[in-house]
Every structure is written in C-alpha cells, then in structure tokens.
A and B are shown apart, each in its own frame.
Chain A
C-alpha cells in the first residue's frame, strides 16, 4: 500500500477500532444504571467517524502548514447543501450526493483559499472567519431559496428525483446505498448486552478509513514534506525556488474537500441541513478537535474528534441525581459539596468543561493527547538507560 510498517499498524488499529466500535462503545449491559453512558448507538457512532474525517482534513492544512483557518465549517455546510440538493434532484442514493459534496466544497474552498492565502498569520485566520460568517449569514437570509433559510432543507416526497422515479404517496424518501438504507440496523443481543450494527455507520467508517489512508499518504509524500517546510521557514522555501502559494492552496483545497466529504456524509446519515452547521463555533470545534488530539500528528485529529464527540455525549447526559448516586458513599456534607462543585461541569455545562480542557491542552500540552501519550510512554521507558533525543526537547510527533 506504499506505507511503512508503523503507518500500516496505525491504519490497522484504526480499522479494527472502527469495525468493533459497536462493541467497544457499548460496555454496559442493557437496563443497567450505566447503560445510558453507552455510546454504541448509530447516530453517535456516525458522528464520531464523520467528525474524524473533518478533523483529519483540517489537520492537513493546520497541522502541516500552520495556517489556522477559522472558517472550515463553511465548507462542511456547503458540502451538506450540495448533497441534499443531489438527493432532491437526482436520487436518494448517497454516492452521487457524497461525490458532489466533495466537488462543490472543493470549488468553494478554491475560491476562498485563493483570496485568503494572499495573507498569512492572524490576517489569514480573520479572512477565513469573515468568509465563513458571510456564508452563514447568506445561507440564513438571501439564499433561502437554495438553503431553506432558518428551516433548512429536507428531501420531500414530491421532489423531482430524476433517477428514482416518483415515490408512492405517504412514503418518505430515505437515503440509501443501492437500496441498502442508511438507517438500517441489525441488533445483536449477547446476554444482557445489545449491540447495534448500522449500515450508515459502516459506510461512514469505511469512508473515514479511506480518508485516513489518503491523509497518511499525503503526510509521507514529497508534497507533505513541502507543507511542513512552509510551516517551518517560508523564507528558505522561497529562496529554494519553491512557490509556497500553490502548496498552501492545494492543502487548503484538500482540507476543504475533506470538510465537504464530512458534510455530505452527515446528510447521507441524517437527511437534513441547516445554516447553523456553518456558524463559526462549528469552525472552532474542529480547531478544538485537532489541537486536543494533536495537530500535525496522523492519529491526533481522529482521537480528538472521537474524544470530543464521545465526551460530549457522556458528560451532557450526567445530571444531578446521577452525581448524587456517585457520591452517595461520602458523608452528607462532603457529598453535597462535591455535587455542587462538579455540577457546573456536567450536563449543559459540557462546553465549560470543553473550554477548560482546551485551555489546559494549549497551555501545558501543545502537542495534544498524542504528546501526552508519548510523555507517559517516556516515563515508563525512563528506567532504561536513555536512548532518547539528546536535546531533550519534545519534537513534533509523527
């Protein structure tokens, strides 16, 4: 496959995790008190891998070139709109929808990138932010005929759908892959456990694996090396006869296409879209995912996306009575105190936890979870005579 051993191992591990996610994410038996913390249901699993794709793509831009875009949600949104129009006009089959979402997002990011990349640093960030906010505002207001404005878009029974033919009255259009419906699931009961295998999830997971594979290839390619050179020293790059602009633009467009792919898949799984998907907080979220996992590393963004979406699910489900159960073994006064202290960070307080976590990572662990893992790993290795990097500095992880 053109990968070295370590990368193949990484890819295989991710593939295994994806394949067995319905088991791994459902550790608690059905009906037990902890069952609500199971994450192995289709909707969440789909989000885990789709946002993984989004973050992998963002990392190709930010992780390699260091250009911090604050507007990538716009490409995700554009991809979503393109996909839903495919479903309205052509067919409910997800393949054309996904392809068109990648293409449209690619074209849009070419335009935005071509303009934004005339500047770098903070100016670039603000330009991308401005573009994204503009797209959001337009989608919400003037472009209502195309975007559905506040209500958003869904496929309707009476849409033309040239390839599918007319639907019978009362039937709802469902996204499918050559007849295999995306919301189709197979449930397997083992003892008290129930595991759900969902068609849509596995489609998204396969796409994610392909996306991940491509990103490894890009990281290991001469192109990837040039992108890291852009981040490291643009002056030297220019005086080495290389034109930084097309390199960064290519990275920008590739990451925009990844975002579009994620947007298309979101629509394939859940056939609706609204403008809020393009809001700048959504752009901020993918930044968070990438940084939290470890920008510039291969696996980091996948970890970050998984971690954030998983924690969001778990943490926002914890409520006061669950907390009280957990701390019930404590003496009353301490129990109350603990509940009061922890309460702001759970349930609706998820964003607070996320914000704090994010600050902590940026302050203490700029390499994200991946660097954290490496540090822990090094702690265990330290007992042996050090064969480590002589400078003792942390180097960006691969």
Chain B
C-alpha cells in the first residue's frame, strides 16, 4: 500500500479524454517519476492530485484519506507540497519572508489572525526559516527581493519553501524545464540530497530523461492518458513500448 494511491482516475475535457484509466501507487519514501510525451496527460494527472482539477471518475487516496473535493490548501495541509513548472514564489517579498510563510502555514494552519504580534518576536519561526535557508545554501540572500533572484535560485527557494512545511509527499512538475545544464544538474543534486536525508516521498513529472534516470527509483510511463508501463529505470530504458511512444522525444532530450 503506497502513500499515494490513484485508482481508475479519468478526466475528460469536452471531447478530449485527457486521462483514461490511471492507476498509480507511489511507495513511501521513494522517488517516483511520471514521464510521457507531450499531451500524455501528465499535468492533468498532477492537477487532479493537488485539488486544482476534480477527476470525473476514480479515487485519489493520500495516506488512506481521499483528496478528492478538497481545496488545494486543504490538500497541502494534509502533507502534499507542490513545486511548479515555472517557480511560483512571492516575488514582491524578501527571500526570508518567502521562507517564513510556509513555516507559519505549518504551525498555524490555513488561517490564523496573528495581527498584533510582530514578526521578530516569532523566534522559532525565524530559526526554522533560517535553518532551511542554510540548507538551501541561500543564507546570504535572505534580505534580497525574491523576484530579483536568478531562475535557479528561485527554484531552490521554491523547493525550500515546500520542504519547510515538512511535507510527506513532494510533487514536482518539470522542475528543470527551461533551465541551463548547470542549473539542471544542481537541481538534480539538491533533489537527490533531499531524498536521501529526509523522510519524504517525491513524485516527479518530467520530460528530461537525464533528470528522470538520475533520480527515480520507479518510473510510470504515461501515453495518451493511460499508464503504458511501470517499472524500474533500467527496465524502462530497455522497454520497446516506451521507445515507441517516445521515439523522437528521447533523441531531442538527449
């Protein structure tokens, strides 16, 4: 029984069957990648997991509880954090504030009218945020405007923000899309380190084979809205069905 159990999930947009009949089980504390060519339904599936979309059929269970019908913030409070394709951070706030907001969300829940105490008096929150900044190697940037960070640093910050909530499941949506090679490798290293050092499950949607094969313990290949095959990276590499679905794409990515 995995921490995330997706059963018979289907989603239709008008005439387009975006997801057919998806079954997926993500084991606790593993790194699971979902790959597939463009239009395979990867993003739709992800959106069904985080509450942005509600599937037409099937069920999504996280740690024994259904996530369907819950709002994104409720699902997050259950322990699922999401990293977006383009980094979503609070661009108008400082790096430190960016890091503190998830800390407050973890401690105080979805809403707390904490209007009179001052931020400097929240020692434990500051400590936690600073700790996470150090983990992300961003301590020197703490007073910077988050919007003025480099793309790679924005990504780091976003991952750090998600981690500071101590999620049980971290969902990443093409975390290296549009990144230079060096930034991509840095991100891979960071994710490796995270999965080794923390009790955390990582599910990653990715296009870039290099990223997938360096990280994943299990891989699900999605094609035309249904899972084609699920296996270990080594077996996936040799699978002719995958090659067929991916022909051209792999060459492009390589």
B-to-A contact residues, CB < 8 Å: 50, 71-73, 76-77, 81-82, 84, 88-93, 97, 100-102, 104-106, 108-122, 125, 145, 148, 161, 165
Contacts and interface: CB of A to CB of B under 8 A. Distances in A.
A217 B115 contact: yes
A237 B97 CA distance: 13
A225 B145 CA distance: 14
A180 B118 CA distance: 37
A298 to B, nearest CB: 14
B93 A225 contact: yes
Contact of A239 (B72, B93, B122, B148): B72
A236 B88 contact: yes
A240 interface: yes
Given A239-B72, A241-B76, A241-B165, A229 B119 contact: no
A220 B113 contact: no
A242 B103 CA distance: 11
A225 B50 CA distance: 25
Nearest to A221: B115
Contact of B73 (A4, A241, A254, A389): A241
Interface string A228-243: 1101110111111111
B188 to A, nearest CB: 23
Contacts of A246: 110-111, 113
Contact of A233 (B89, B113, B145): B89
Given A223-B114, A240-B73, A391-B145, 9 more contacts: A217-B118, A222-B100, A225-B100, A233-B88, A233-B89, A241-B109, A246-B110, A250-B113, A250-B115
Contacts, number: 118
Given A217-B115, A225-B97, A243 B73 contact: yes
Contact of B105 (A233, A241, A254): A241
11 contacts: A218-B115, A221-B114, A222-B119, A223-B113, A225-B100, A232-B90, A237-B73, A240-B165, A241-B105, A242-B73, A243-B110
Given A224-B115, A225-B119, A239 B90 contact: no
B248 to A, nearest CB: 33
Contacts of B92: 228, 231-232, 396
A246 B111 CA distance: 7
A390 interface: yes
Contact of A220 (B89, B118, B145): B118
Interface in A341-398: 389-391, 393, 395-396
Contacts of B91: 232-233
B110 A241 contact: yes
Nearest to B146: A232
Nearest to A393: B148
A220 B118 CA distance: 6
By secondary structure, the A interface counts as helix
Given A222-B117, A240-B101, A229 B88 contact: no
Given A226-B101, A240-B102, A241-B76, A233 B118 contact: no
Contacts of A220: 118-119
Given A229-B93, A236-B88, A241 B116 contact: no
B88 A221 contact: no
With most chain B CB atoms within 10 A of its CB, the pick from A218, A225, A232, A240 is A240
Contacts of B116: 2, 217-218, 221
A222 B114 contact: yes
B93 A2 contact: no
A225 B101 contact: yes
Nearest to B77: A241
Given A221-B116, A238-B71, A250-B113, A226 B104 contact: yes
A242 B89 contact: no
Contacts of B106: 241
A242 B114 contact: no
A254 B116 CA distance: 13
B101 A221 contact: no
A389 B144 CA distance: 9
Interface in A237-263: 237-243, 246-247, 250, 254
A143 interface: no
B89 A238 contact: no
A4 to B, nearest CB: 7
A228 B115 contact: no
Nearest to A244: B73
Contacts of A238: 71-73, 76
A56 to B, nearest CB: 14
Contacts of A247: 111
A218 to B, nearest CB: 5
Contacts of A224: 115
Contacts of A393: 148
